Structure 1
Amino acid sequence: MFYPDVKTVPLPAKCRLWSFHDDGDFIDGYRVAAPFTPREAAEIAMKFPAWVYALMGLRQIVMWPFGLKGRAAGSDTISIFPVTEESDSEMILGFNDKHLDFRIAIFSTGSHVHCGTWVRRNNWLGRAYLFVIMPLHVFITRQMLARVARAART
């Protein structure tokens, strides 16, 4: 499905996600026109449809034998993701696991909301996992920001 409001762009240089990034890590970035704070945008974006939660549940079952967390506890979460940092312009969510470490950034300029994901693959399982889920990652991320763009128009 095509989401014309969602643009593939590098994250702003001020985005904290860049401070995690090393050679060989994965990082992506998307943007929509929307006036929301990072928390407002994250709460809109991460109201996932039921099929996404079903896939996450399946992932838990499939990855359990490998000893992977799949979720991390935290006092402040949005959807299933713990908030690790928050400022007026940015929210970082995510956690470290055995196979990979990841963070999601929601960054607001006041007129645009950016969303990016950083991933460090820790072993062969992390590399295989990212390879397999990449098409879904792009699709789900674009859907997330499309929800933010629709909310901005209403």
Structure 2
Amino acid sequence: MSHTKKTQLPQHSLLHDYVQQGDFMDCYACATDLSVDQAAARAMEFPGWAKGLLRLRNILVAPLGLRSEFPEGEKIGPFPIDQRTENEIILGLDDSHLNFRISILKDGTQAYCATWVHRNNWLGRAYLALIMPFHVLIVRNAVSQIWRPDTK
């Protein structure tokens, strides 16, 4: 995963429109020749271990009344598309404990994968703290999938 780097999301990203004081946002980038659609598709191809973590998450949060399934509609991977431009796709939704969006932005030869989270209450703060180590692993893996050369 040495081809990924933690960085700042370019200021022209639509994701900045969501950010409020105190929100969480991180961003990783890599070089790529892929289009934004190809990059998003690869980033959301979670490996088996990440899919397993998402299944476990869904089981654990069900008694708390949190979403365990996402609404119908256009999706990339498990996440619904919120916005789309020629160079950026925003995925995500709002829930009772937190709102989140994922940006896949193609800017020149760089692809950026950024996550924004607005915690709505104490449960959102606790949830984000609990999943943070897994979040970093999953996002770094997603960006490394964007970078990987075609094997075909």
Shared fold (TM-score greater than 0.5)?
A: yes
* Separation (CA, whole Å) in 2 of partners of 1:41 and 1:151: 12
* 1:25-80 Cα distance to aligned partner (Å, 9 max, x none): 00011110012222110101111111211111111111011111133213211111
**Residues 1:143 and 2:137 aligned together:** no
Task: Give the superposition deviation at 1:10.
Answer: 0.5
* Separation (CA, whole Å) in 2 of partners of 1:151 and 1:18: 30
4+ residue runs over 2 A deviation: 151-154
- Check conservation: 1:10, 1:28, Cα contact below 8 A: yes
Unaligned runs of 5+ in 2: none
TM (normalized to structure 1)?
0.94
CA distance 1:80–1:25, change in 2 (3 Å): same
Identity of aligned residues (%): 40
The residue aligned with 1:98 is 96
Residue from 83, 103, 120 that aligns with 1:85: 83
The residue aligned with 1:59 is 57
For these two proteins, the number of residue pairs brought into alignment is: 152
* Separation (CA, whole Å) in 1 of partners of 2:129 and 2:63: 19
Task: State the one-letter code of the partner of 1:102.
Answer: F
- Check conservation: 1:75, 1:82, Cα contact below 8 A: yes
- Check conservation: 1:27, 1:118, Cα contact below 8 A: yes
Aligned CA-pair RMSD: 1.4
TM (normalized to structure 2)?
0.95
